A and B are shown apart, each in its own frame.
Chain A
Amino acid sequence: MLFTIGGVAAQPCTIQFSGLVVSDTGEPLTGATLKLNEKTFTVADQEGKFHFKNLCRGEFTLTIQFVGYHTKTVTLSLTQNLQQTYTLYPDITQLQEVIVADQLQGIEHAYNFAALTEKQLAATAGKTLGEAVKELAGVNTIQAGPGIFKPVIHGVHSQRILILNYGIRQEGQQWGAEHAPEIDPMMASNIVVIKDASAIKYGTDALGGVIIVNPAPLPESPGLGGSVNAILQSNGRSGTISGVLEGGINNHKGWGWRTQGTLKRAGDFHTPDYNLTNTGIQEMNFSGAVGYHNEGNCFEIYFSRFQSEIGILKGTAISNLEDLLSAFERVPPLYTSEFSYSIGEPRQTVSHNLLKINSELPVSSGTWKLQYGFQNNNRREYDIRIGGLSQVPAIHLQLNTHTLETEFETKASAKQTYSVGVTGMYQDNKNIPGTQRIPFIPNFVNLSGGAFGISKFSIGKFSVDAGIRYDYRYYQVSGYDFKNTLYQSQLSFSNLSATLGASRQLQGNQKISTSLSSAWRPPHVAELYSLGTHQSAAAIEYGLLLNDSTNEVMNIEDVTYHNEQALKWVTSYTRAWANLQLDLSAYANYIFNYIYQKPTGVTQNVRGVYPYFRYTQTDALFAGADVAASWNVNTHWSLHPKATLLWAADVKQHDYLVFIPPNRYELTLRYDRATQKKVKNFFAESRLKVVDQQHRVPRTITVREFFEAIDNNTDPLQGSTANFDFMDAPHAYALMNVATGVTLKNEKVQYDIRLVTENLLNTTYREYTNRFRYYANDLGSNFLLSLKCTF
């Protein structure tokens, strides 16, 4: 098939359509959704302004929606640039669905979610996915130095949250605390975080929630558009350049394409006082998509590649407990030297390839969706090793995942929809030979299947969602035990998940919703069979299936194992006044048979003394509240407070868990001004972030105390297997960030310029959830300059 790419010369589609959305009282309706022909959409900004560009001549249907207001539908005939003001009228009786359900994909059945819109996402350009979602209330990160961020939703992470990368379950080596999601946030136009466990459509594992990374819909009409974004940052002396080019295809209505790429290079980051040697990053990402959309038919092919190399702070390269003691007490860390872009050992190189093909077909009674995904994940971890092995990865894993999903959705009435689906996954994890080390996790094949049904309907004034799902997983495992002898096992797991949620629109732009969901997950192979030491951990980890006294691999029937199962309740309340928007949510997530690493003892080998941790099960409770508000003091000034509160404990053993994010508060003061003509959207903001000290922590046993106990021939764990940490939690800290930006615009091109200073006062601090807090301070000031050009 040959296409000619729609050029500007052939058929100019350059009409701009812009304007204002206001309430009956003249207030701008920030966040109102505007859709053209049910396909192209935008959101009204802080001042209620909206803007469509690159439109072709023709007839359009414009739909404007805003929570608590009557939806407005108008027909337009566009022949030239158009400016319009639309007024929406309040509708307090209307049973409103989730506010931006049409704009944000994947939240049809969610009751508690938060989203980074295109604009908010643009303000995090240059950051990793984890750092970007951390902007949302209820979301934190587990960090391993300045380059590795794992998202945490309501206190849980890794195998307990699900990441959907353009609709495909992200399958990487997510079991490792220093394994960040392999996704370039620059490809996304919005990111949604679902914080209830309602997303049963996407399968097991979503005990804490789901992160949905969505690119913009593909163009459907001819024309060429795109953007280039360049970001420079002083801390790490990093440069990021990202570009998008997209368009339709001439004479082939409905066809569209997009390519996107990002290059990033950073050197050693620094704290207020010293460099963090060997923390550089190199990243090269690419994605491309082609699709066809017409009258409900949809067909898309998408490919993306993520590739990164990340240096791990050299001062964390340690072997035994004695090394750990030296590393903890040394300021600055060992190996600290001049700034450099070079990345040495320890380091990791990761690549992730995704191919997705999906289609949607309207059939007589509904829509039929079909989606196939192939993911290829490669991970190499290099350590400082003897025998010339530093250039040989200590861990080298290749994970191939095929997913096939189909779903049928039908509308019984305007207020009632049903959806049923079947999903299948085939996954193959291989240790690539040549690491010259007993593999940390075994090879395995994972075959999974699931079926679900969800319905959305109304009971009186309530909008109700109910769903049920069954999942089955089969593992075939083969690996080597501590004696380097082969073991093989076959395991299978199955269980049900269910969700029930209801929401109700109340008078005065209030909405209340509550949901109760049960979710489960099969154990990850790493939790069952892990064996050995980890990068920068100075501890040995043993999986659930390794015998307590002999360390031999056992059958799952011979140990007490139960599937991890969560019961999560979330209630949220939102209210919008003329100048004030309030979002409150409270939750409790009780996780039965919670799998965690429990300190179990101390062992000695030729290299010295090591504490060891065994994967064990207990019951854990995570409870908390997320608060976010926006107050428009007047047309220019606004105030945005935010709080993320969390309480977590091991309820079975009356103990606290480690690495639970402490309470976090944020206050942003923002000034916006839409000046005339070419200069638009000037803003300046100042943000104060306060992170409390985590007081709900397990006991501290310092490395010194370990040695004193060993010298005195007493038990360093003091006869108890209660959790412990090597160091007290760091003190509370406050950071000040300031940012300013402006948008310049002419007929064809828009420039967004943004200048940000993070940690303005160069405050020295350590973050409790950063695994490198034992070794070094966190980052000092960072100046960021971003220039984005959209055409």
Chain B
Amino acid sequence: MTITRPIQIITTSFSFFIALFLSGCENDDPAREDTPELITQVTLTFTPPGSSPITVTATDPDGEGIQDLIVDGPINLAKNTTYTLTLELINGLANPADPAYNITEEVEEESDEHLFFFAWTNNTFSDPAGDGNIDNRSDAVNYNDTDANGLPVGLSTTWTTTDVSASGTFRVILKHQPNLKSATSTATMGESDVDLTFTLNVN
């Protein structure tokens, strides 16, 4: 074999790749992503039978940005009253028509992996008594909903306030516990999707 053959190969190859190189030189903007995991707003609605509900909201103005969360409150509940608490999770960066907007639905769909934990100042509620299941999973919380495995979820819960005035804090944690959720899985297991603390007054 003479030397000309390899040189021909070199020349052809290089011109081919330079052509390829130039053809690759166009730039597209990245596509705008939906952000269905991003929760920017959590609303707690305490509904007493027959009267208007009490709502408090925690709002994150900038997702992963630097600004702090704005937490409403306090939660002002009446003495000796039974409330149904429902939770709503919203991605405020998405369009309300977008399925990514309502994260409550996603939690419902994956209820076998999600569990809400609650903690409150002792003696603010008569039922459940105690201070909640964040420190001890076996402590009482009145869950109204269950997942496919019969385990509680916590999007809806029932609360009866004490008959004396009291004040303190009310904390909600949503844990994502894929393959971890059980009758005994605790608030320190899994990843936190929500962790919020509100001021609570019972008058």
| Contact status A435-B110, CB under 8 Å | no
For residue B66, which residue of chain A has the nearest CB?
A: A551
Complex Cα gap A484–B195 (Å): 23
Chain B 12-40: CB-based contact to A (< 8 A → 1; otherwise 0): 01100110110011011111111111011
**B29, closest chain A residue (CB):** A478
Q: Does B140 contact A (CB under 8 A)?
A: no
CB contacts under 8 Å to A, within B125-157, are: none
B11 CB to nearest A CB, Å: 10
Residue numbers in B under 8 Å from A370 (CB-CB): 10, 14
Residues of A within 8 A of B30 (CB): 430-431, 433, 439, 442-443, 478-480
Contact, CB under 8 Å: A384 / B192: no
How near does chain B come to A248, taking the closest CB pair, in angstroms? 13
What is the bound-complex CA distance between A370 and B10, given in angstroms? 9
- The chain A residue with its CB closest to the CB of B192 is A319
Asked whether any CB of chain A lies closer than 8 Å to the CB of B9, the reply is: yes
- Once bound together, how far apart are the Cα atoms of A442 and B28, in whole Å? 12
Minimum C-beta distance from B99 to chain A (A)? 9
Contacts of B54 in A (CB 8 A): none
Given A436-B37, A437-B33, the answer on whether A531 and B64 have CB atoms closer than 8 Å is yes
A317 sits at the interface (CB 8 A): yes
**Judging by beta carbons under 8 Å apart, are A438 and B35 in contact?**
yes
State whether B68 touches A606 (Cβ < 8 A): no
Complex contacts, B106 vs chain A, CB 8 Å: 386-388
CA distance A322 to B188 in the complex (A): 8
Question: Would B17 and A322 count as touching, CB distance under 8 A?
Answer: no
- Per-position binary interface string of chain B over residues 170-203, scored 1 when its CB falls under 8 Å from any chain A CB and 0 otherwise: 0000001011100000001111111110000000
Partner of B195, one of A431, A433, A478, A607: A607
Interface 1/0 per residue, B50-71 and A, CB below 8 Å? 0000000010101111111100
Rounded to whole Å, the gap between the CB of A599 and the closest CB of chain B is 13
Given known A385-B37, A607-B39, contact A372–B17 (CB-CB < 8 A): yes
- Write out, one digit per residue, whether chain A residues 591-612 have a CB within 8 A of any chain B CB (1) or not (0): 0000000000101111111001
Contacts of A323 in B (CB 8 A): 188, 190-192
B190 CB to closest chain A CB, in angstroms?
A: 8
- Judge whether A436 and B34 touch: CB under 8 Å: yes
CB-defined contacts of B41 to chain A, threshold 8 Å: 606
Q: Which single member of A387, A601, A606 contacts B110 (CB below 8 Å)?
A: A387
In the complex, B44 has a CB within 8 A of chain A = no
Check if B176 sits within 8 Å of A320, measured CB to CB.
Answer: no
Q: Is the CB of A386 within 8 A of B66?
A: no
Contact of A318 among B1, B10, B191 (CB under 8 A): B191
Contact status A608-B192, CB under 8 Å: yes
**Are B42 and A606 in contact, with the CB atoms below 8 A?**
yes
Contact between chains at B31 and A484 (CB < 8 Å): no
B62 touches A483 (CB 8 A): yes
Q: Give A426's nearest chain B residue, CB to CB.
A: B21
In the complex, the answer to whether A551 meets B65 with C-beta atoms within 8 Å is yes
| With A299-B9, A389-B37, A428-B24: A605-B32 Cβ-Cβ less than 8 Å | no
Counting chain B CB atoms within 10 Å of each CB, the highest count among A359, A433, A549 belongs to: A359
A374 within 8 A of B: yes
Report the bound CA distance from A607 to B3 in whole Å: 68
Write out the residue numbers on chain A whose beta carbons fall within 8 Å of the beta carbon of B3: 294, 297
Tell me the residues in window 168-214 of chain A with beta carbons closer than 8 Å to chain B beta carbons. none
Interface range for A: 35 or more
A388 to B60, CA, bound (A): 23
B72 at interface by CB-CB < 8 Å: no
Cβ-defined partner of A359 (8 Å) among B10, B42, B109: B10
A222 to chain B, nearest CB (A): 14
Given A299-B10, A443-B27: A482 touches B63 (CB 8 Å cut-off): yes
Q: Which residue of B lies closest to A602 (CB)?
A: B68
Of residues 307 through 324 on chain A, the ones whose CB sits less than 8 Å from some CB of chain B are 317-320, 322-323
Contact B109 A438 (CB under 8 A): no
User: Is B10 within 8 A of A608, CB to CB?
Assistant: no
**Assembled-state Cα–Cα distance A372/B9 (Å):** 13
**Chain B neighbourhood of A40, CB < 8 A:** none
Cβ-defined partner of A439 (8 Å) among B7, B33, B66, B110: B33
Q: How large is the interface on B (under 10, 10 to 19, 20 to 34, 35 or more residues)?
A: 35 or more
Q: Is A542 part of the binding interface, using a Cβ–Cβ cutoff of 8 Å?
A: yes
Bound form: Cα–Cα A553–B37 in Å:
23
Residues from chain A with a CB closer than 8 A to the CB of B178 are 384, 390
Contact call B109/A388, Cβ cutoff below 8 A: yes
Is the CB–CB distance between B25 and A426 below 8 Å? yes
Q: CA–CA, A370 to B15, complex, Å?
A: 13
Residue of A361, A402, A434 touching B17 (CB-CB under 8 A): A402
Cβ-neighbour of A433 out of B20, B24, B31, B67 (below 8 A) = B31
Q: Is there a chain B Cβ closer than 8 Å to A532's Cβ? A: yes
Q: Say whether A334 faces chain B, with CB atoms less than 8 Å apart.
A: yes
| Contact residues of A between 357 and 399, Cβ < 8 Å to B | 357, 359, 361, 370, 372, 374, 384-390
Q: Which residue of A lies closest to B188 (CB)?
A: A326
B24 touches A438 (CB 8 A): no
Is A81 positioned at the interface, with any CB of B under 8 Å from its CB?
no
Is the C-beta of A455 less than 8 angstroms from some C-beta in chain B?
Answer: no
CB distance from A721 to the nearest CB of B (A): 14
Report whether A484 and B192 are in contact in the complex, using a CB–CB cutoff of 8 Å: no
Q: Mark B97-112, 1 if CB is under 8 A from A, else 0.
A: 0001001001101100
Q: Does A104 contact B (CB under 8 A)?
A: no
Q: How far is the CA of A603 from the CA of B67 in the complex (A)?
A: 7
Check: A259 CB closer than 8 A to any chain B CB: no
Closest Cβ of chain B to A537, distance in Å, is 13
Bound together, the chains give a CA A323 to CA B67 distance in angstroms of: 21
B109 surroundings in chain A (CB, below 8 A): 387-388
Taken together as a complex, chains A and B put the C-alpha atoms of A230 and B153 apart, in Å, by 50
- Inter-chain CA distance A330–B190, complex, in Å, is 12
The reply to whether B32 and A606 form a contact with Cβ atoms under 8 Å apart is no
> Is B49 interfacial (CB-CB < 8 Å)?
no
What separation, in Å, do the CA atoms of A458 and B157 have in the docked complex? 85
Q: Which residues of B contact A335 (CB under 8 A)?
A: 179-180
In the complex, which of the residues A374, A549, A607, A609 contacts B194, with contact meaning CB atoms closer than 8 Å? Answer: A607
> At the interface, yes or no: B93 with Cβ under 8 Å from chain A?
yes
CA distance A437 to B35 in the complex (A): 5
CA distance A386 to B9 in the complex (A): 53
Residue of A nearest to B60 (CB): A605
Q: Are B37 and A384 in contact (CB under 8 A)?
A: no
User: Contacts A426-B24, A488-B29, A551-B66; is A606 near B60 (CB within 8 Å)?
Assistant: yes
Query: How far is A675 from B107 in the complex, measured between Cα atoms in Å?
Result: 70
Q: How far is the CB of A600 from chain B (nearest CB, A)?
A: 9
A476 to B25 Cα, complex, angstroms: 12
One of A299, A400, A550, A605 near B6 (C-beta < 8 A): A299
Q: Is the CB of A386 within 8 A of B27?
A: no
Shortest beta-carbon distance from B10 to chain A in Å: 5
B69 contacts A606, CB within 8 Å? Answer: yes
Q: Does A76 contact B (CB under 8 A)?
A: no
Task: Let me know if A22 is at the binding interface, CB within 8 A.
Answer: no
A443 CB contact (under 8 Å) in B1, B13, B29, B191: B29
* B residues in contact with A390, CB < 8 Å: 178
Q: Look across to chain B and name the residue whose beta carbon is closest to the beta carbon of A435.
A: B33
Least CB distance from B61 to A in Å reads 9
B9 and chain A: residue at smallest CB distance: A299
Give the distance to chain B from A460, nearest Cβ to Cβ, in Å: 41
Contact (Cβ within 8 A) A386 B176 = yes
CA gap between A402 and B41 in the complex, in Å: 45
Name the one of A255, A297, A551 contacting B62, with C-beta atoms under 8 angstroms: A551
B37-A606 in contact (CB<8A): no
Most buried by A among B65, B113, B191: B65
- Additional A-B contact list (9), CB under 8 Å, known A370-B14, A402-B24, A478-B30: A299-B10, A330-B188, A335-B179, A357-B10, A357-B14, A388-B110, A436-B37, A438-B33, A606-B194
The 8 closest A-B pairs by CB, nearest first: A608-B195, A433-B31, A326-B188, A482-B65, A319-B191, A387-B106, A551-B65, A605-B60
A-B contact pairs, 13 of them (CB 8 A): A297-B3, A319-B176, A319-B191, A357-B13, A357-B17, A372-B17, A386-B107, A443-B29, A531-B64, A606-B58, A606-B69, A606-B195, A607-B194
